[in-house]
Chain A
Amino acid sequence: MSNHYEAVFIMTPVLSLEQTKETADKFKAIITENGGAIVNDENWGLKKLAYPIQKKSTGFYQMYQFESSNGELIEKIETAFRRDERIMRFLTIKLDKYGVEYAARRIEKNKALGTKK
């Protein structure tokens, strides 16, 4: 029985665009290697933070929605988040069935708008 998860993380604004892409792909690789399947990924780009985090007031937001059947994947990805110092903050959530429905609707909405890719 595969569970759906959602991971959102913020990267420091100091990085250049390629570095953010590279870190984002690094976590995508961690997920796919350990038996996770990315369902949806969204890059909200540089956004202003509501309060300064680590003395910075903006950050690159990246969101991955993935499903996986083994639970250790979450520990692995979280330790990777903690180790990587380019990540200012992260949040991983287990989606219940309503969350999955909502996310599916959100994917259609994004596709229709063609944004957030």
Chain B
Amino acid sequence: MADKSEIRYLNPPSIEVKKDKYCRFKKNRIKFIDYKNPDFLAQFVNEQGKVLPRRITGTSLKYQRKVAQAIKRCRHLGLMPYVTDLYK
């Protein structure tokens, strides 16, 4: 059984460069997430208009809750849809 080092790959395995996610609210010190402008909140929502999980946006727990609450208020005010397709 050829040991590890002798195995040659047909094409070199693409090493996923690990881009470390950061919480954009902590980085640019945003303290208040405004529920009145839907364009900013649209970045945290997928095509169906659902709130994106933290593992994708990388925001910290504290700000994820604020973003989720702001999105819900925005939806209540009719500025953002509850559910849609091809939202972007």
**Chain B interface mostly helix, strand, loop or mixed?**
loop
Is A17 positioned at the interface, with any CB of B under 8 Å from its CB? no
Interchain CB contact under 8 A, B79 and A50: yes
Our count of residue pairs bridging A and B at CB distance below 8 angstroms stands at 39
Residues of B within 8 A of A59 (CB): 78
From B34, B73, B81, contact of A91 by CB (8 A) = B73
Interface size class of B (residues with CB under 8 A): 10 to 19
B19 lies within 8 A of chain A by Cβ: no
Decide if B31 touches A89 in the complex (CB within 8 Å): no
Residues of A in contact with B (beta carbons under 8 Å apart): 8, 10, 47, 49-51, 53, 59, 61, 63, 89, 91, 93, 96, 98-99, 101-102, 106
Binding site for A on B (CB under 8 A): 31-32, 34-36, 38, 73, 75-82, 84
